[in-house]
Amino acid sequence: MFVEGAATAREKERMLAHLADCAECRKTVFLMQPREESQAAPATPAKEWVWRWLVPIGLPAAALACVLIAMLIYIRPRSAPPAVPPQIARATQPKLERPGAETAAVPATNSERVAPSGNPKNGVARNAAPPKLSQEKQHFAGGLNLSKSPSSQTAAKVASPQIVAAAPVPVPNADAARLAGTISAVKAPELPMNGRNVTNDQQLATSTAAQGAVAQNSLAVRKDVPELRVQHAGEQSETLAGVSGRITDRSGAAIAGGTITLRDADGKTRQTTASADGTFHLAELPAGQYELTATASGFATSKQSIELKPSELALLKPMLDVGAASTAVEVAAQSNTVSIQTESANVGQVEAETRSMSRIIPVPSGQPVVTTVSHDKRLLSLDNSGNLFLSRNKGKNWKKINPQWVGKAVRIEWTTVASTGAAFQVTTDAGAVWTSKDGTHWHQQ
């Protein structure tokens, strides 16, 4: 009662008097204190005098400082160089045989210029870059049409990934030029009318000498790189970028359940699984060079290098070719273990993958969602801390899954397991694989 503050003032006084005299009771009182407990302490009165002095002086000073800062912020943009409007560039691929191709290829060399496709609704425009990095609102519907012509292998043909980067703030002309290379600008009326979405053909029109990352990387040298658009989002983080896109085959059909892996220069990876309509999304990526790997069961793996600029949203459209057997080498996120999966080609299997998860739904942990996999109404999401969350009602309510595995979950997917059939599958950083049909009951494979 005394220790918990439940005693009245009189009782407390009486107890203090006893405690002052009784060593045994003092021992008891101190012994019963939990060690880790730190009781909330009221503000020490000793500091009252500080506040008495600070309040009449400090508050006006703070208010004046706020006003000055506001004025600086207000004035400063006016004296700054005019904002560079967002760059929307499209690289057309004149030689691609895809009917109704929405994109144009980026010429292989810088000397070529890409004629603007003139369809502002392609790619980014449709995605209507929302101001925020939260890409739930960006539905990249403009899938890439890939033909399913049998091709040889792997990374040889990364068809038309479209990189559309969106930045919230003016992009320096040099950056735009670098990105553009042979990219032409396209107006994107679907973008938020924040005054920064006006494209500037002339700014993007290039600089044949532009040797930006895009021009230098494998994307730029590929002749079959399709439409490339650069888009600047609104209120994205100044330093982080995002990747969004859709995996399709050569014919343009969406590939569900494919895996997108981004690996940075340090070897760190971020991975996600595409939804039933092939869309995927990775947010809060530090700017820099990445190697993008797209894999799907029954398809050849594709790899390419991309560069993400701060506050850009890259819209990608990896196209995969059907392969007789595909071998995916994936580096587990945030670990150095490498798991190699060999899958036999089974196009039909692809169609039985998870249903749509067209947007990333936040999970209760507040951490960025690495991957979300859905099946029927059940959603299984993995955040970047390795926490697994299950929703039985399409993301309305979430339940955290208590991990039965040792280590951290780094990958989730809906797949077919020989022993159990179609099920959710979790792979840990130790390489352990657990499956569950309902997302609740897990069994180690």
Partner 1 sequence: MDTSSANIIPTEPSGGKDCTASVAKGIAVETEVATQSRLLPETLGEELWQTAGAELVEVSKAEFAQALETIGTRDNFGLDPSKQANERQREMFWRALHLEELAIAHGCALGRESAWGRFLAQYRDQLTRAAVEMTGSSALGEELASALYSELFGLTEREGKRWSPLLGYSGRGSLMGWLRAILAQRRVNQYRKIRRETALDEIEPAGAVSEPLELERLEDLRVALRMTLSEASAEERFLLSSYYLDQHTLQEMSRVLRVHVATVSRKLKRATERLRKQLLRTLIARGLSRRAAEEALGIDPRDVDINLRKLLQKSEGAANSDKRGEV
Which residue number, 8 or 419, has a Cβ lying nearer to partner 1? 8
**Is residue 23 near partner 1 by the rule CB under 8 A?**
yes
**What backbone phi and psi angles, to 5 degrees, belong to 215?**
-65, -30
Which residue number, 3 or 69, has a Cβ lying nearer to partner 1? 3
Q: What CA–CA distances, in Å, run from 338 to 117, 227, 294, 329, 373?
A: 41, 33, 16, 7, 22
Which residue number, 3 or 54, has a Cβ lying nearer to partner 1? 3
> For the packed helices 23-31 and 9-21, what is the interaxial angle rounded to 10 degrees?
110
Q: How far is the CB of 12 from partner 1 (least distance, A)?
A: 9
**Is residue 26 near partner 1 by the rule CB under 8 A?**
yes
Which residue number, 8 or 111, has a Cβ lying nearer to partner 1? 8
Q: How far is the CB of 22 from partner 1 (least distance, A)?
A: 4
Question: Rounded distance, CA 85 to CA 90, Å?
Answer: 15
* Consecutive H or E run containing 412: strand 409-417
Can you tell me which of 15, 253, 347, 361 binds partner 1, judged by CB under 8 A? Answer: 15
**Is residue 35 near partner 1 by the rule CB under 8 A?**
yes
**Is residue 266 near partner 1 by the rule CB under 8 A?**
no
Q: Residues in contact with partner 1, total (CB under 8 A)?
A: 40
DSSP single-letter state for residue 246: E
Question: Rounded distance, CA 230 to CA 122, Å?
Answer: 12
Q: How far is the CB of 400 from partner 1 (least distance, A)?
A: 22
**Is residue 21 near partner 1 by the rule CB under 8 A?**
yes
Question: Rounded distance, CA 161 to CA 165, Å?
Answer: 12
| Residue (of 237, 312, 316) closest to 272 by Cα position | 316
Q: How far is the CB of 35 from partner 1 (least distance, A)?
A: 6
What the block records as the tokens of 419 is 């022993």
Instruction: Give bridge partners of residue 391 from the DSSP assignment.
Output: 379
**Is residue 174 near partner 1 by the rule CB under 8 A?**
no
Which residue number, 31 or 340, has a Cβ lying nearer to partner 1? 31
Contacts of 356 (CB under 8 A, 6+ apart): 275, 276, 277, 374
SS (H, E, C) 260-312: EEEEECCCCEEEEECCCCCEEEEEEEECEEEEEEEECCCECCEEEEEEECCCE
Binding piece for partner 1, criterion CB under 8 A, among 13-21, 55-63, 411-419, 435-443: 13-21
Which residue number, 40 or 80, has a Cβ lying nearer to partner 1? 40
**Is residue 4 near partner 1 by the rule CB under 8 A?**
yes
Which residue number, 46 or 340, has a Cβ lying nearer to partner 1? 46
Question: Rounded distance, CA 175 to CA 167, Å?
Answer: 11
Binding mask 44-83 for partner 1 (x = CB under 8 A): xxx-------------------------------------
How many helices (DSSP H) and strands (DSSP E) are in the chain? Answer: 9, 21
**Is residue 32 near partner 1 by the rule CB under 8 A?**
yes
Can you tell me which of 25, 115, 345, 417 binds partner 1, judged by CB under 8 A? Answer: 25
Cα angle 403, 407, 410 (rounded to 5 degrees) comes to 85
Which residue number, 41 or 193, has a Cβ lying nearer to partner 1? 41
Rule CB under 8 A: which residues touch partner 1? 1-8, 10-11, 13, 15-17, 19-35, 37-39, 41-46
